[in-house]
Amino acid sequence: MADTQKIITEINALVESAERLAQNAASSPRTLGPEWIQELSSIAVRGGRLIQKLYGEGSQHEQSWKQVLATRSFNHMSSNHHAHVSELCGIMKGVQHDLQSGMLLDFRRLLQAEIFADFIEMAEYLLNEGYKDAAAILLGAVLEDSLRKIATAAGAPTISPNGKPMTIDPLNVAIAKTDTYDALVEKQVTTWADLRNNAAHVKFSKYDDGHVRQMLLFVHKFCADYLK
């Protein structure tokens, strides 16, 4: 929550700064001086960094931002040359809207779901090829990361008292206390956590392909049900 508020504060400041700069540039018959160029440079750097953090490299937002930065005579701003400043402001307002409307959060959840789906598909491939142990470890990693995200969304702790990230079992207990899922799901998570631990500690004889395939089905459904 704290990080989200910092991002919102930063985007609001960037929009305000860009709007002020665009208005001054549009009404100035002469080229704006060094103090305004400094503000433009600050917007360019801070905005670009924020966009990359929120949307990732190669996103449409980042491409649009870089395209504006490539404007000829970028540092020149006057009533005859200010469209690029307005474009930067427009992109920032788009990011601001995504944050305020919740669209960015929805987008990132969808992206995360796609990433998990890829890992689950990889685990299924490994299992079909006879690598049950590698599949079990991969599924365990997906389950743990999913639990961490669910805990964060539910306001449950993800860091243990000793300062280390919680693993599957403590995350499961913490989430269950929020009533995010019922006792049956909690027990199922515990079961697959045990299988993952056996795989991680080279106790391969304690489970077989059938168990890993059941784990695959559970993790797939679990992600679909709770990563929303």
- Contact between 207 and 195 under an 8 Å Cβ cutoff? The reply is yes
For residue 61, the model assigns a pLDDT of 85
Q: How far is CA 190 from the centre of its chain?
A: 26
73 in helix, strand or coil?
coil
The tens-digit pLDDT sequence of the chain (228 residues) is 445 677 788 889 999 999 999 999 999 999 999 999 999 999 999 999 888 877 777 778 889 999 999 999 999 999 999 999 999 999 999 888 877 776 555 545 544 555 556 777 888 888 888 889 988 988 988 899 889 989 988 899 999 888 888 999 999 999 999 999 999 999 999 999 999 999 988 898 999 999 999 999 999 899 888 876
**What is the CA 31 to chain-centroid distance, rounded?**
40
Q: What is the pLDDT of residue 110?
A: 46
- Which residue in the block uniquely carries the two structure tokens 């995350």? 171
Do the beta carbons of residue 31 and residue 76 sit within 8 Å? yes
Q: pTM higher than 0.75, yes or no?
A: no
| All structural domains of the chain with their residue ranges | 2-101, 104-226
Q: What does the pLDDT read at residue 15?
A: 93
What is the per-residue pLDDT for 30?
Answer: 93
Q: How far apart are CA 31 and CA 55, in angstroms?
A: 33
Closest CA to 146 of 89, 193, 91: 193
Query: How many degrees, rounded to 5, is the angle at CA 106 between CA 139 and CA 137?
Result: 5
DSSP 181: S
